[in-house]
């Protein structure tokens, strides 16, 4: 009886035939909070008041499209044989790395058009990206997805998790409890958010908050991905998320070192 009471319905409510899922509510909430945080900081840093609002109008749909496209490409054996399933995004199947590629590319082009420094905008937006990721993983929790391998209930209790999380980590189709990798990544990103906010006060060189985001997120994702059971694979046992993570770590460190060595004059985060 207790398990039934603790069970979480992924559908928040329905309006006629339309079902509104907690996943969508959480994602939208994350976008809204991230927007207001970036908007407030952007205003301090001299960006136009409508800058992030206009950017989101392009970045959100393009990011969703790229997230789906990334997933479909990685699962082409299935989608190539079932092309009608490609548009069924409501059944799951989006990849955060695809979304990041779409968002970063869109922001870069948008900044070029608006004649604003991309790295300035990326530094401002980096904590907001983490806010979206922190909340987004709880959408995975509601859907019972993005989890890890089997564990015992005793293991989950040893993490001092509340019962409503522990019970959601019981996957009936598998008949076992699983690693709450959604929680590991959400907490990792929360620590990263605190670090990036502190980096603002440290007044790092322009671009270094963004590159630090790439490094921090990718280190955590690399190790957490190894626990997951739903990974996308490139070749054999080579997980695409781990390959992308290693690439982003290298890009992040290389960019910081290169810019500190080569770029003059030095522009810092708090500079107008």
Across-strand partners of 268?
A: 205
Is the separation of the CB atoms in 231 and 239 below 8 Å?
Answer: yes
In a domain, 58, yes or no: yes
In a domain, 270, yes or no: no
Binning pLDDT at 50, 70 and 90, where does residue 1 land? Answer: very low
Indicate the average pLDDT of the chain.
Answer: 94
- What tokens were used for 118? 């991309």
Distance of CA 148 to the CA centre of its chain: 17
137 is in an annotated binding site: yes
Tell me what pLDDT residue 203 has.
Answer: 93
Q: In the block, which residue shows the tokens 């989006």? A: 94
In a domain, 62, yes or no: yes
DSSP-derived 3-state class of residue 183: helix
CA atoms within 13 A on the CB side of 188: 21
In tens, the pLDDT along 168-226 reads 999 999 999 999 999 999 999 999 999 999 999 999 999 999 999 999 999 999 999 99
In a domain, 173, yes or no: yes
Binning pLDDT at 50, 70 and 90, where does residue 2 land? Answer: very low
Distance (Å, whole) CA 75 – CA 91: 14
In a domain, 268, yes or no: no
Distance (Å, whole) CA 54 – CA 107: 10
pLDDT at 5 over 60: no
In a domain, 248, yes or no: yes
Distance (Å, whole) CA 241 – CA 181: 14
- Structural domain containing residue 121: 2-262
Distance (Å, whole) CA 132 – CA 117: 23
In a domain, 148, yes or no: yes
Binning pLDDT at 50, 70 and 90, where does residue 272 land? Answer: confident
- What tokens were used for 204? 């790092």
pLDDT at 39 over 60: yes
Tell me what pLDDT residue 6 has.
Answer: 60
Torsion angle (degrees, nearest 10) of CA 68, 73, 74, 78: 100
In a domain, 272, yes or no: no
pLDDT at 7 over 80: no
If one counts the domains in the chain, the total is 1
- Beta-strand ranges (E) seen in the chain are 11-15, 18-21, 150-151, 170-171, 176-178
Give CA separation, 208 vs 21, 89, 251, 265, 268, in Å.
37, 34, 12, 15, 9
pLDDT at 55 over 70: yes
Tell me what pLDDT residue 4 has.
Answer: 44
């Amino acid at each position: 009886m207790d398990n039934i009471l603790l069970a979480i319905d992924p559908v928040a409510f329905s309006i006629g035939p339309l079902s509104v899922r907690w996943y969508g509510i959480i994602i939208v909430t994350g976008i809204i909070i991230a927007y207001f945080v970036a908007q407030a900081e952007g205003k301090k840093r001299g960006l136009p008041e409508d800058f992030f609002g206009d950017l989101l109008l392009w970045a959100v749909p393009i990011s969703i499209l790229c997230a789906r496209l990334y997933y479909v490409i990685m699962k082409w054996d299935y989608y190539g044989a079932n092309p009608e399933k490609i548009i069924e995004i409501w059944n799951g199947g989006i990849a955060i790395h695809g979304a990041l590629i779409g968002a970063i590319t869109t922001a870069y082009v948008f900044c070029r058009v608006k004649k604003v420094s991309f790295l300035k905008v990326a530094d401002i937006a980096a904590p907001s990206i983490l806010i979206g990721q922190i909340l987004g993983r709880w959408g995975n929790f509601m859907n019972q997805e993005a989890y890890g391998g089997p564990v015992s209930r005793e293991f989950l209790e040893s993490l001092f998790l509340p019962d409503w999380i522990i019970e959601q980590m019981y996957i009936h189709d598998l008949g076992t409890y699983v690693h709450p990798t959604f929680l590991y990544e959400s907490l990792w990103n929360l620590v990263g958010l605190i670090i990036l906010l502190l980096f603002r006060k440290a007044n790092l060189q322009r671009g270094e908050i963004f590159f630090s985001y790439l490094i921090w997120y990718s280190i955590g994702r690399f190790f957490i991905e190894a626990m997951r059971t739903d990974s996308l694979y490139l070749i054999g046992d080579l997980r695409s998320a781990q390959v992308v993570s290693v690439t982003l770590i290298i890009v992040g460190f290389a960019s910081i070192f290169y810019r500190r060595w080569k770029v003059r004059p030095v522009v810092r985060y708090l500079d107008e």
